[in-house]
Amino acid sequence: MIPRTAITLGVLAGGRGERLGGRDKAWVLHYGKPLLQHTLSAFPGGYVERLVSAREPDARFAKLGLRPVFDQRAGFPGPLAALEALSAACTSPWLLTVPVDVQRIPDDLADALRGAVARDGVVVKDATGLQPLVGLWRTAALHDAVRELLDAGESAAYRLVSRLDLARMDISPRLLANLNTPEDLQDDAAQ
């Protein structure tokens, strides 16, 4: 099993938030706390560092013990650019990534990923299919592969998975739901 002391946590929170009216998802409140705090509580300490792929500088990141990193490419080219920025900033051999808007993170996810890696890492498959942004990656392999894809004009995270020697950890029937719209947030608050 890969020790946490060899892993950096990377939260993807640098998107445009278009389906939320342009709001920064990191700071959208859910059950009275920002989505970013919910995500961090699912991955308690012990990591080399905690990074956040952010869309702009914000002093609140430091208060949460996060170092923000920013896309190296202009125009918000999507989650692959976030993975590129996170892997470029990562100083450890392994990078655990999770989008800030994942709603149902299993308590044991980080430990399960640490025990399930193939040569280049492991990604999660839930009840709806592959979740290519939730995974544990060998940093060097991730950085090289994502850079090559972006240079070739690719934007789909699924293409990244097919380029690397990754295990697929099936957590079905569990579902990692994403909070993408105001309705998602409203429906969850009512439950």
pLDDT digits (tens, 9 = 90+) for 144-161: 999 999 999 998 899 999
Q: Is 31 left (phi over 0), alpha (psi -120 to 50) or beta?
A: left
Give yes or no for a contact between 46 and 36, defined as CB atoms under 8 angstroms apart: no
Q: What amino acid is encoded at 58 in this protein?
A: D
Greater confidence (92 vs 183) lies with 92
The CATH topology of domain 4-190 is: Spore Coat Polysaccharide Biosynthesis Protein SpsA; Chain A (3.90.550)
Greater confidence (114 vs 155) lies with 114
Residue 189: pLDDT band with limits 50, 70, 90: very low
Q: Which of 55, 58, 131 is nearest to 98 (CA)?
A: 131
* Mean per-residue pLDDT of the chain: 88
Asked if the model's pLDDT at residue 73 lies above 70, the reply is yes
Q: Which of 89, 102, 114, 105 is nearest to 13 (CA)?
A: 102
Would you state the pLDDT for residue 40? 95
Give yes or no for a contact between 80 and 150, defined as CB atoms under 8 angstroms apart: yes
Burial of 62 (C-beta count, 10 Å sphere; 0-12/13-18/19+): exposed
SS3 35: helix
**What are the extents of the domains in the chain?**
4-190
Residue 104: pLDDT band with limits 50, 70, 90: confident
Residue 182: pLDDT band with limits 50, 70, 90: low
